Structure 1
């Protein structure tokens, strides 16, 4: 439930619009989701070996530290705290607020609480902050409180998604599936490249292999970002029964189930509405457009409630898990010392509140959305370094007792590394704007690391 709940937020209801603008065909959109699914499950299978080797709180931070040293671990943890985890929490909370505004229009209509030029503080932002603080408080009450909330909300949204998938094929009067799977001259011939936001020129006849690959890479930014956070379960390994066995199972089963759900939901979009309606859905809310065609006027309300349930449960998982990384960093002398302490409920309450407060600041800044769009490169890069760590450890310490060994090693980690390398390489060629912000955030961690360690006798 933690794996699935952390993965399924608001992305699956939105990102397919940009993917269709980039690809121009339902066929290629599904191909991109399948590539992302293979990539994600391959990473989870590879992480399983590391989670069994290092079954303690901290997850990916711990793996990187153990394999490559404290500096690499800190750079990952730094990125996680500054924007990856906290920025995702902020974005998901804002999605909750925006879809709540569908049900409570006065939230949209209300005047800003504060405005100075383009900067403003709205009631939707305040609702997002309230949700973050509420979930943070619930998680300070003990791991059982967070677990119960996670199970209830994740179970609810999985059932709701299954209902949406069934309804998307049963209640649609006219199927657009065959039309959307075409990829000939009718693939957005009359839409110019800039408006379309894709690499397509004037129809599929004019597309060469590299142009198609560039389009796939751009489309994958959305699908990859919708498929991250599954590693959150490794952050809480220290609080899971038999982590050497159960964390592996959770990652592999959870990621596989979510990717199947994602592909099925995209088939619903392709079945329910035409290509233009997907690509140019209002505010990219593809799920709303599809649901209106399936359920009529009630569709907007249905999707609004589904997204609210989804984002609430997603944020609970992110908040529960992320704080454990910062506590582990503090124990290593790389984060605020007060984050080490557990409260009377045996949870890291100080780390929880630090995470919650910074995520709330990001909500007020209004910049988290832009940053999140631009850190997919760095997220995949850290995944690649961690997956490479599986191979590196096999050579460096071949005699380590491995309670779980990566299935089909070395094929599985190599699959991830190849797809990840192609993805990052194509972004370097075609979409540099997705690269430099993430790199900048990580590089800013270097001087912070040296400041922290300047008075320590430590191996840098």
Structure 2
């Protein structure tokens, strides 16, 4: 029997930190470095981009801590935006999260899980049916859908079941990543690969693989270099995203005014350190430069790792040919655990929206396990549609820009609330206020302007998706009346 009750606080600091780190670590760290290497062509600038990404992520997380302490409620960022800017802006955030950001990421990660499962079971590559020349249904898409449905089902069984899954898979992927780093450095530092990569470490260049197989290399300096870094940082930022998901489940965290800020700091710090050392391990094992479509991982280098799977190429240097299966297993574990956290937390955001009459009313109902099961299933259905459609990749590209805008708005909300509500209880105050939050805003605004210039089409479509939420908002208001 379903009943509407309050969410119960049953998650401690370790659980919350596990959710932060587990939601951040998906498949990106094993893939995006190849594209970034082609964009900047410099080992030093590559590491700096990852370092800047980590500092930006941590500064945002430390700033969110103040808002989390003030408003330890289900919905997290949705609640913060509403208090600072009102219901329309908060709805536009929730709308974008539901239509693209959360569900699109869930779909993308589920498909990545299926792609790597196919390495063990090649039959998954087969098509089931095709419709015209634009759409084909494959076994991999079915596996992706099954994984989303299964994890949703698991998370409807209660927060304790969800947190157990999250802890197990986060621990597994952390151990595996530490092993990749330690053994990678152990093997790599016995060679001169790392020193060679850093020999001309400040010489930046953009490498483009042309349709005829030839390569065009353009030297970068000054504003051209800053532009290239600003454009490619979107890769590392996306790989470091989803840290804010812990705020969505604030109503289920014990002593949230202390544990949410602590978990945000500890989780983002841990992942930042892992990501930087993982990239150093790549640079110790593989040459930065490479030639496309060659026979060996060394000749391909980081830039042209097969299908951009730089993590698999690095593992190959440690373990040989068996690395393909080892890395596939690691990414399966990583993506499965990541999606468990995303599915668990996303449902709580839509539950909070429904309680404000800004989402389907059924999403307010908690099942006998104290979980917003209907919100989880609505999220599941749309994520499955995106996974089968194959369009989630385009949607995520469009939505990343919008996601950055909402981060900027949320952190600027600290300044608004400090002025509007100076006497509000703030158990934790943003680290380095006003300098650290303002630095994040300034740098992220510059990145957004850079994306507007270099990725005009994608950013414009992203803004259009957000704007589509305006008529939907008034539709919900009309329905409420």
Same fold by TM-score, threshold 0.5 exceeded? yes
Q: Which residue does the alignment assign to 2:460? A: 436
Alignment TM-score, normalising by the size of structure 2: 0.90
- For residue 423 of structure 1, the aligned residue among 441, 447, 452 is 447
Q: Deviations over 1:383-403 (max 9, x none)?
A: 000000011111111111111
Question: Given the alignment of the two structures, is residue 377 of structure 1 paired with residue 398 of structure 2, yes or no?
Answer: no
Matches within 5 A, 1:272-421: 272-275=285-288, 276=290, 277-421=301-445
Choose 307-316 or 422-431, whichever is displaced more. Answer: 422-431
Choose 24-33 or 113-122, whichever is displaced more. Answer: 113-122
Question: Given the alignment of the two structures, is residue 174 of structure 1 paired with residue 198 of structure 2, yes or no?
Answer: no
In structure 1, distance between residues paired with 2:169 and 2:358: 34
- For residue 97 of structure 1, the aligned residue among 114, 134, 140 is 114
Q: Which residue does the alignment assign to 1:271? A: 284
Is contact 1:175-1:272 (8 Å) kept? no
In structure 2, distance between residues paired with 1:270 and 1:195: 27
Shift of 1:183: 4.1
- For residue 34 of structure 1, the aligned residue among 51, 56, 63 is 51
In structure 2, distance between residues paired with 1:12 and 1:249: 24
Choose 269-278 or 359-368, whichever is displaced more. Answer: 269-278
> Secondary structure of the residue that 1:141 maps to in structure 2?
coil
Is contact 2:35-2:303 (8 Å) kept? yes
Is contact 1:327-1:340 (8 Å) kept? yes
Structure 1: tracts of 5 or more residues without a match? none
Is contact 2:31-2:310 (8 Å) kept? yes
Choose 418-427 or 40-49, whichever is displaced more. Answer: 418-427
Q: Which residue does the alignment assign to 2:9? A: none
> Secondary structure of the residue that 1:121 maps to in structure 2?
strand
> Secondary structure of the residue that 2:127 maps to in structure 1?
coil
Is contact 1:60-1:386 (8 Å) kept? yes
> Secondary structure of the residue that 1:369 maps to in structure 2?
helix
Q: Which residue does the alignment assign to 2:29? A: 12
Shift of 1:409: 0.8
> Secondary structure of the residue that 2:136 maps to in structure 1?
strand
Question: Given the alignment of the two structures, is residue 164 of structure 1 paired with residue 188 of structure 2, yes or no?
Answer: no
Aligned-residue CA RMSD (Å): 1.8
Q: Which residue does the alignment assign to 1:232? A: 245
In structure 1, distance between residues paired with 2:476 and 2:401: 27
Matches within 5 A, 1:137-152: 137-152=153-168
> Secondary structure of the residue that 1:278 maps to in structure 2?
coil
Shift of 1:4: 0.3
In structure 2, distance between residues paired with 1:248 and 1:378: 24
Q: Deviations over 1:271-321 (max 9, x none)?
A: 111112211111111111111111101111111011000000000000000
Alignment TM-score, normalising by the size of structure 1: 0.94
In structure 1, distance between residues paired with 2:318 and 2:137: 35
Q: Which residue does the alignment assign to 2:296? A: none
In structure 2, distance between residues paired with 1:51 and 1:76: 17
In structure 2, the CA distance between the partners of 1:286 and 1:433, relative to structure 1 (3 Å rule), is farther
Question: Given the alignment of the two structures, is residue 43 of structure 1 paired with residue 67 of structure 2, yes or no?
Answer: no
Is contact 1:113-1:123 (8 Å) kept? no
Matches within 5 A, 1:213-224: 213-224=226-237
In structure 1, distance between residues paired with 2:100 and 2:75: 17
In structure 2, the CA distance between the partners of 1:169 and 1:208, relative to structure 1 (3 Å rule), is closer
Shift of 1:427: 1.1
In structure 2, the CA distance between the partners of 1:102 and 1:69, relative to structure 1 (3 Å rule), is same
In structure 2, the CA distance between the partners of 1:194 and 1:373, relative to structure 1 (3 Å rule), is farther
In structure 1, distance between residues paired with 2:257 and 2:404: 24
Structure 2: tracts of 5 or more residues without a match? 1-17, 291-300
Q: Deviations over 1:105-153 (max 9, x none)?
A: 2222x23334431201100010000000000000000000000000000
In structure 1, distance between residues paired with 2:173 and 2:93: 30
- For residue 75 of structure 2, the aligned residue among 58, 71, 74 is 58
> Secondary structure of the residue that 1:343 maps to in structure 2?
coil
* Matched residue count: 449
In structure 1, distance between residues paired with 2:218 and 2:235: 24
Is contact 2:365-2:372 (8 Å) kept? yes
- For residue 70 of structure 1, the aligned residue among 83, 87, 104 is 87
In structure 1, distance between residues paired with 2:129 and 2:27: 26
In structure 2, distance between residues paired with 1:260 and 1:175: 24
Is contact 1:78-1:442 (8 Å) kept? yes
Is contact 1:64-1:73 (8 Å) kept? yes
